[in-house]
């Protein structure tokens, strides 16, 4: 049965694809998003981070373009990405591009989430438009990612290193160090279409196990950087915070169709009212370190509550305010809205 589903997905006939091949087609939110954040050249601009671009943002932009059925924008973003971030001596992407710096890429390290997002977007593009060049490019990235970033026989199960350099047991005494927000769960069902020789499903399982195991302090939340040299603990040299990146964990779970209430419980306890802002905390004490008030962020707990409890999605969170909010909340909100339409239509406002 699984082989049949993989083949159907590869042909663009997965269950979600049958119902909504382009869930963001005709979306005012997508049109506003690309008008503000995607340049004519195809650079996705992180407006909340000094106007830089990064592999993560390029991958998000490519993925959203596929979800909108917008091939022209997809190709524009992919062309810029190839020209400006695929500058390493392998098939992975340099993680950061700065418009006011020369050279614009100062750090040649990669970022696993950016690599994975771009490869996943290419896999989705194959299903949408059946261009062989997308399949070849996606496979090259996926194979390199599998070879260099997946630890297949780690004590906690297959692990995804955050980057080629800096996080392994050889690189640091408390290594391997991981970041659970880099486990992009909805990508793992698609990556076998590009590189079936790697254990993507094992990564999915290990990520869920670690989310349950890495519950630190009174908030029972994971820190962003976690040492797995023994039992999971906050990694040395990093703030032990559930922070800006970690809020993607429940989003990715929901996008993948996870409905186990216990996976979402600590996140939903932290965010009881999606439309009132998202708290971030220091995991040791539970102290709130920041509160994210842009409305796009509220789509994350709203989607998580739908996945875990069947809670209706608030109508006010269906409007994407790309004209006034930054790239990051607008991106996460669009991803949540696509998942709402494809996976959880019963929760959607009528």
Catalytic residue, chosen from 46, 113, 204, 325, is 113
Q: What tens digit of pLDDT does each residue of 294-350 get?
A: 999 999 999 999 999 999 999 999 999 999 999 999 999 999 999 999 999 999 998
Q: Is 294 a catalytic residue?
A: no
What's the mean pLDDT in 36-56?
Answer: 98
What's the mean pLDDT in 129-147?
Answer: 98
Q: Which domains does the chain have, with CATH numbers?
A: 28-334 (1.50.10.10)
Catalytic residue, chosen from 56, 144, 241, 294, is 56
- Average pLDDT value for the chain: 94
Share of the chain above pLDDT 70, in %: 94
Q: Is 131 a catalytic residue?
A: no
Q: What is the pLDDT of residue 191?
A: 97
| pTM for the full predicted model | 0.94
Q: What tens digit of pLDDT does each residue of 266-294 get?
A: 999 999 988 888 999 999 999 999 999 99
126 vs 115: CA distance, rounded Å: 17
């Amino acid at each position: 049965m699984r082989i049949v589903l993989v083949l159907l997905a590869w042909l663009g006939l997965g269950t979600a694809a049958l119902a909504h091949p382009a869930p963001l087609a005709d979306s005012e939110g997508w049109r506003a998003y690309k008008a503000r954040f995607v340049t004519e050249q195809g650079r996705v601009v992180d407006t909340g981070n000094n106007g830089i671009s990064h592999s993560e943002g390029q991958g998000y932009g490519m993925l959203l373009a596929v979800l909108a059925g917008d091939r022209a924008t997809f190709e524009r973003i992919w062309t810029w990405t190839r020209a400006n971030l695929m500058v390493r001596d392998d098939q992975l992407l340099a993680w950061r591009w700065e418009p006011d710096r020369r050279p614009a890429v100062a750090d040649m390290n990669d970022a696993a989430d950016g690599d994975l997002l771009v490869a996943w977007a290419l896999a989705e593009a194959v299903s949408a438009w059946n261009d062989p060049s997308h399949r070849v490019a996606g496979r090259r990235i996926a194979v390199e990612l599998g070879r260099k970033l997946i630890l297949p026989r780690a004590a906690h199960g297959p692990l995804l290193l955050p980057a080629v350099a800096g996080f392994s047991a050889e690189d640091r005494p408390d290594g391997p160090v991981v970041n659970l927000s880099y486990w992009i769960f909805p990508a793992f069902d698609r990556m076998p279409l590009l590189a079936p020789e790697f254990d993507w499903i094992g990564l999915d399982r290990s990520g869920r196990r670690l989310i349950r195991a890495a519950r630190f302090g009174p908030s029972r939340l994971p820190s962003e950087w976690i040492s797995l040299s023994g039992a999971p603990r906050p990694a040395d040299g990093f703030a032990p915070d559930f922070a800006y990146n970690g809020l993607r964990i429940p989003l990715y779970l929901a996008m993948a169709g996870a409905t186990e209430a216990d996976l979402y419980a600590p996140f939903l306890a932290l965010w009881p009212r999606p439309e009132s802002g998202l708290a971030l905390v220091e995991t040791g004490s539970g102290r709130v370190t920041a509160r994210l008030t842009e409305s796009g962020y509220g789509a994350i707990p709203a989607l998580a509550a739908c996945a875990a409890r069947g809670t209706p999605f608030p109508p006010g969170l269906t409007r994407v305010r790309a004209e006034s909010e930054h790239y990051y909340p607008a991106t996460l909100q669009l991803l949540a809205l696509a998942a709402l339409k494809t996976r959880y239509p019963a929760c959607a406002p009528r």
